[in-house]
């Protein structure tokens, strides 16, 4: 994947679990949209280094037009505190 190319994906955040948006080693990404279905309010967004989690927001809608610069040591963690699985999409661009 070349610098400037889109970074996109869809994952299933299972009930009571967490998932990461994390580039491979040596890459940096800017994630600017994290998409969740309307009406879902049980997802928490963290920035983490794998040890320390910083709660950024608890959703009441998708996270649109944010700018998260992430690497394999500084990345996004999503936590589903609800009882149903939630599909999550993300959109961004490769920086390095």
Domain membership of residue 60 (yes or no) is yes
Q: Which residues pair with 3 in a beta bridge?
A: none
Domain membership of residue 1 (yes or no) is no
Residue 77, domain CATH: 2.60.120.340
Per-residue pLDDT reduced to its tens digit, 36-64: 998 888 999 999 999 999 999 998 778 88
Domain membership of residue 14 (yes or no) is yes
Domain membership of residue 10 (yes or no) is yes
- Which of these, 17, 82, 78, 85, lies nearest to 44 by C-alpha position? 78
Domain membership of residue 54 (yes or no) is yes
Number of domains observed in the structure of the chain: 1
pTM of the model: 0.94
Q: What is the span of the domain harbouring residue 61?
A: 6-94
What pLDDT score does 59 carry? Answer: 86
What pLDDT score does 61 carry? Answer: 79
Owner of token pair 């279905």 = 37
Domain membership of residue 43 (yes or no) is yes
The DSSP secondary-structure symbol of 23 reads P
With a cut of 80, say whether residue 88 has pLDDT above it: yes
Distance of CA 1 to CAs 6, 30, 69, Å? 9, 14, 17
């Amino acid at each position: 994947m070349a610098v400037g190319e889109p970074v996109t994906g869809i994952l299933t955040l299972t009930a009571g679990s967490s998932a990461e948006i994390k580039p491979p080693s040596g890459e940096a990404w800017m994630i600017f949209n994290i998409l969740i279905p309307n009406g879902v309010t049980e997802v928490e967004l963290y920035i983490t280094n794998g040890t320390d989690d910083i709660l950024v927001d608890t959703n009441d809608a998708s996270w649109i037009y944010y700018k998260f610069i992430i690497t394999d040591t500084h990345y996004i963690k999503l936590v589903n505190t609800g009882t149903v699985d939630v599909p999550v999409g993300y959109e961004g661009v490769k920086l390095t």
